[in-house]
Every structure is written in structure tokens, then in C-alpha cells.
């Protein structure tokens, strides 16, 4: 697989304009996983934003907790490693924030259910 990838990159190298060469050859540029990981991880952010339209009772607390935790853990990690991967940091912050937002929705929904149950019991 890596031989195929190297072949594709060597062909693509010939077509990169001189102005884009610094970006293309950067240690965290499109030739590396450091570029593609955050690019695809934005799918988690998009899914989290799409979940805003879902009713709160259908949201998964473990999933939202996992998204929040991994988002913030990997955000920290992306600042420790070299090269520092700022796009990965930003992406993971958004992953963590969408997880926290969904956890807040779940908490508020459960609190409102508890308040309704308390009213019914009185």
C-alpha cells in the first residue's frame, strides 16, 4: 500500500505549483497522515452538529462522553508532538465541544423529566 501511495505522491509532486510547494512539503502537509487525519475527523464534528436535530432522549450519553473525552485528550496530544498539528488541535477541540454540548442536552432533558415527575407526584 505504501508503494502505491509513494507512486501517487511522486506523480503529484510534478503538478504542485511553486507557490503551494511549502504547504505541500510541510512536515504536517498533505503528504502525511498529519494532514489527512484531521481532514477526515471533521466528519465526527459534522455528525455531532447533525445530532442537534435529534431528540435528546435518543442521544447516547456514553457516546457523547467518549467524543468529549477523546476530543480534548487528542487536542492536548496534538500540541505535545512534533510537528505541532494545529488543524488537528482545532478539529479535536470541536469534537470535544460537540460532545460536551450533546452531554448538556442529555443532562437538561433528564433534569426536565425529573422535574415533571416531581410535579406529578405532588
Burial of 103 by CB count in 10 Å (0-12 exposed, 13-18 middle, 19+ buried)?
middle
pLDDT of residue 53: 94
Residues 2 and 55 in one domain: no
pLDDT of residue 121: 76
pLDDT above 90 covers a percentage of the chain that reads 54
* Peptide bond before residue 28 is cis, with ω within 30 degrees of 0: no
Q: For residues 28 and 23, give the distance between their C-alpha atoms in angstroms, rounded to a whole number.
A: 8
Which are the contacts of 66, defined by CB distance < 8 A and separation ≥ 6? 99
Residue 106 has pLDDT above 70, yes or no: yes
Residues 67 and 102 in one domain: yes
pTM: 0.76
Residue range 44-62: average pLDDT? 93
pLDDT of residue 81: 86
Average model confidence (pLDDT) across the chain? 90
Tally the domains of the chain.
Answer: 2
Q: Which domain holds residue 50?
A: 32-121
Amino acid at each position: 500500500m505504501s508503494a502505491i501511495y509513494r507512486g501517487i505522491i511522486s506523480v503529484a509532486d510534478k503538478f504542485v505549483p511553486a507557490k503551494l510547494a511549502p504547504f505541500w512539503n510541510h512536515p504536517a502537509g498533505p503528504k502525511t497522515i498529519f494532514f489527512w487525519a484531521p481532514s477526515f475527523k471533521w466528519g465526527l464534528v459534522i455528525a455531532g452538529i447533525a445530532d442537534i436535530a435529534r431528540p435528546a432522549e435518543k442521544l447516547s450519553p456514553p457516546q457523547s462522553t467518549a467524543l468529549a473525552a477523546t476530543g480534548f485528550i487528542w487536542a492536548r496530544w496534538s500540541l505535545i508532538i512534533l510537528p505541532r498539528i494545529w488543524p488537528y488541535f482545532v478539529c479535536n477541540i470541536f469534537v470535544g465541544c460537540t460532545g460536551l454540548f450533546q452531554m448538556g442536552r442529555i443532562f437538561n432533558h433528564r433534569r426536565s423529566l425529573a422535574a415533571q415527575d416531581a410535579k406529578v407526584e405532588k
